Amino acid sequence: MIKKLDEIITAVKGYPKKRLVVACGEDPHTIEAVSKAQAEGLVEVIMVGSQKKIEEIAKKQGVTAHFSKVVDEPEAKKALKLAVKMCREGEGDILMKGLVTTADYMRAILDKENGLVPPGGLLSHVTVMEIPAYPKLLILSDVAVLVLPDLEQKVKILEYAIEVAKALEIETPYAYLVSSAEIVNQKVPSSIEAALIKVMAERGQIKGAKVEGPVGVDIAISKESAGIKGFKGDGAGEADILIFPNIEAGNVFYKACAILAGAKLAANVVGAKVPCVLTSRGDSEESKFYSIGLASLISTKRAQK
């Protein structure tokens, strides 16, 4: 079981390198992160963008690692489409966002004719956090893509999170569907959906995890709180996965952990043909590096199935 983000990096080094395609690579933090990832043997980096600017920024940042390939396309929209096309056609195993807006990046991935999502597919954002006050990695979803997921989408979000947990060598993850309390309240839709998903898991419609819900987040991550409240569900206080009722709840938890608790993180968009690295503008080079490691691990585990 992988319990630290550094352990993801160690695990990935034991597998063949994946090909990372960077869309619009003219971004200092991204260049630093992918250069480090290539230098440490995690991936082979294919940069798509203005070769002149990429080389200028790399020199300015003191980056010495040579990229496996640079595809010169100065126009950002064309560079983004080309990067997506390379992943769609099997020339890349991972897509990464460079100097391009999140909206444009997601739009290119979702493009019905030229994107990376299969018909009827769903994209979701999965974050893996290493929180100093928590004894293991915590998987969060969805904190950045799906605004108000319905029941069917929450099932898919949970299945994606379970896939990530399995990649992290968590044999039977504890998955908690977060709501305001542990009772089903007709006035709180998330509590009803959580209860339904728990029943689906009990009946074998969702496999690979022990699912609890609805629960308050304190029950999921604090044994003390679970004991005080008398909650006896599987893995009380030991959650591996938190599924949030909406993007506001997830995003607030995610940012509070990062800023107030000093959490480290890795984040990917899943549900596409390849893992897609999507980090915030405010994320550090370290977060981008860990996100590359996570994407490589997910890609490797998929290939082994």
Note down pLDDT in tens along the chain; length 305 residues.
999 999 999 999 999 999 999 999 998 888 999 999 999 999 999 999 999 999 999 988 888 667 889 999 999 999 999 999 999 999 999 999 999 998 999 999 999 999 999 888 999 999 999 999 999 999 999 999 999 999 999 999 999 999 999 999 999 999 999 999 999 999 999 999 999 999 999 999 999 999 999 999 999 999 999 999 999 899 999 999 999 999 999 999 999 999 999 999 999 999 999 999 987 666 788 999 999 999 999 999 999 87
Give pLDDT, residue 65. Answer: 63
Calpha distance 192→196 (Å, rounded): 6
Domains: count for the chain: 2
Asked whether residue 101 is domain-assigned, the answer is yes
Asked whether residue 69 is domain-assigned, the answer is yes
CB–CB of 149/246 below 8 Å? yes
User: Are residues 277 and 242 both part of a single domain?
Assistant: no
Give pLDDT, residue 61. Answer: 84
Going by C-alpha positions, the residue among 305, 295, 279, 241 that lies closest to residue 9 is 295
Asked whether residue 266 is domain-assigned, the answer is no
Domain with 207 in it: what CATH number?
3.40.718.10
Give pLDDT, residue 281. Answer: 62
Give pLDDT, residue 119. Answer: 86
Domain residues for the domain of 296 are 5-117+272-304
User: Are residues 181 and 294 both part of a single domain?
Assistant: no
| Alpha-carbon separation of residue 209 from 22, 32, 214, 298 (angstroms) | 33, 36, 15, 18
Residue type, position 129, single letter: M
Indicate the SS3 state at residue 207: coil
User: Are residues 17 and 99 both part of a single domain?
Assistant: yes
Give pLDDT, residue 279. Answer: 75
CB–CB of 73/48 below 8 Å? yes
User: Are residues 42 and 133 both part of a single domain?
Assistant: no
User: Are residues 174 and 208 both part of a single domain?
Assistant: yes
Between CA 4 and CA 124, with CA 45 as vertex, the angle to 5 degrees is: 55
Asked whether residue 153 is domain-assigned, the answer is yes
Give pLDDT, residue 282. Answer: 64
User: Are residues 90 and 134 both part of a single domain?
Assistant: no
User: Are residues 57 and 80 both part of a single domain?
Assistant: yes
